[in-house]
Chains A and B, each alone.
Chain A
């Protein structure tokens, strides 16, 4: 864990050095590509503005993540117990993945307005599929020997689902949540790009339009830092949830 943190720090320093080198060597004007120092200055000068917009985005992402995980988890359980749901829902889910979320976002904004509801909806749609497919996969892959044993013990279908399949699938659910933690901020920002008056996505669009590239980069940096933090926290939570599993020791694998 500590080693990985140091590795991350080192690679971040290398990337910053490379970035600064490109700025110096090519001599591009700062309104095209600002150096790390310019971005840091913009971050400090606009901290109140960035913090306010980041707050909105963070709320959208967190609500979207919780809702998406809950709806996705319930859907996977439903798919597991109902053959009818499998017949009707599975093809629909694959089809829904074929529609780009960028194309749906304007419609959601039209329906749900310019507030945070439409952004939460985009976020939920974004993470729904990875959560459902990983969790459902985990539920289906329960050790068949354990299920045989449950049968000889006279287990009821409900207790087999809740006491065997569900806990056995928690590592897979954790993987789904880790993926969702990375996708959720993308969902919120896409929602904001389509139409918003607040949020990091809105701020980036605004800064870009006014040629404040340093502010845009500053907002982007905050978004990326939040995503990395969210992924780390989700990984820890996922590991706690299935501490018995060897697979979840590798928090690096999303």
Chain B
């Protein structure tokens, strides 16, 4: 990474099909940390992420998304979604260097090979996505994201479709490789949020609220009693139960 990761601030109102989805929200993202947006499906977590990424949301946003250093954001984000979004006609290597190809640049071959090795896909570098497992595909998607080398990483439930073991391996790999970047992770899984977050923000129909029960630093051991306690505490908060 060539530059320091910026903090982010999103504020304003968002309407979808005439209905307000968010009113006067204020979402601050700390620089160089993992911020997890947790909440039920359909509450608008992904919309917040897409607003930061500058992608189409199908609604109307009146407000602003700004970086702490006041420079434009769009060219500094990398995006990863629940589906791997690998081009099915390209092999792993070509998918990893897709960004450079799409910008008409010559890809840095050595770097791509290094990142493929980093995510453990060397034996599969010539395979197309159809012959890879779900976990391997998300590894390839992660390598592609790292290849982009952007200071802001936006992750939209990227591990939700994986089995429990692969998911926890991917969480570790992502934590390790995205170190030092400003990461926004959207998830509906309290266990994932508690494991990875420096800061958790609960998104609900009522708006955003900061979860204050988080202790220690990521990556938290998934099976430690403190982690499990935080996880059940967060789940109670999500369900609106008294603590």
Residues of A within 8 A of B (CB): 143, 145-146, 148-156, 159-160, 163-164, 167-168, 170, 242, 244-246
Contacts and interface: CB of A to CB of B under 8 A. Distances in A.
A143 B85 contact: yes
A142 B54 CA distance: 20
A57 B87 CA distance: 41
B89 interface: yes
A36 to B, nearest CB: 46
A159 B85 contact: no
Interface stretch (B7-15, B100-108, B181-189): B100-108
B77 A244 contact: no
B235 to A, nearest CB: 29
A24 B149 CA distance: 79
A160 B102 contact: yes
A164 to B, nearest CB: 7
B28 interface: no
B89 A148 contact: no
A242 B89 contact: yes
Given A145-B81, A148-B79, A153 B99 contact: yes
Given A156-B104, A159-B103, A149 B128 contact: no
A156 B85 contact: no
Contact of B78 (A143, A152, A246): A152
A151 B103 contact: no
B130 A159 contact: no
B92 interface: no
Interface in B64-116: 74-75, 77-79, 81, 83, 85, 87-89, 98-99, 101-104
Given A145-B85, A156-B103, A164-B87, 13 more contacts: A145-B81, A146-B85, A148-B50, A148-B56, A152-B154, A153-B102, A155-B102, A160-B102, A163-B98, A164-B102, A167-B89, A170-B89, A242-B89
A244 B75 contact: no
Contacts of B75: 154
Contacts of B56: 148
A143 B87 CA distance: 9
B130 A246 contact: yes
Contacts of A156: 102-104
A159 B105 CA distance: 11
Nearest to A243: B89
A89 to B, nearest CB: 26
B136 interface: no
A167 B81 contact: no
Contact of A152 (B79, B88, B101, B128): B79
Interface in B27-81: 50, 53-56, 74-75, 77-79, 81
B102 A244 contact: no
B55 A154 contact: no
Contacts of B81: 145, 148-149
Given A149-B79, A152-B55, A244 B99 contact: no
Contacts of A167: 87, 89
B102 A154 contact: yes
B77 A152 contact: yes
B5 to A, nearest CB: 16
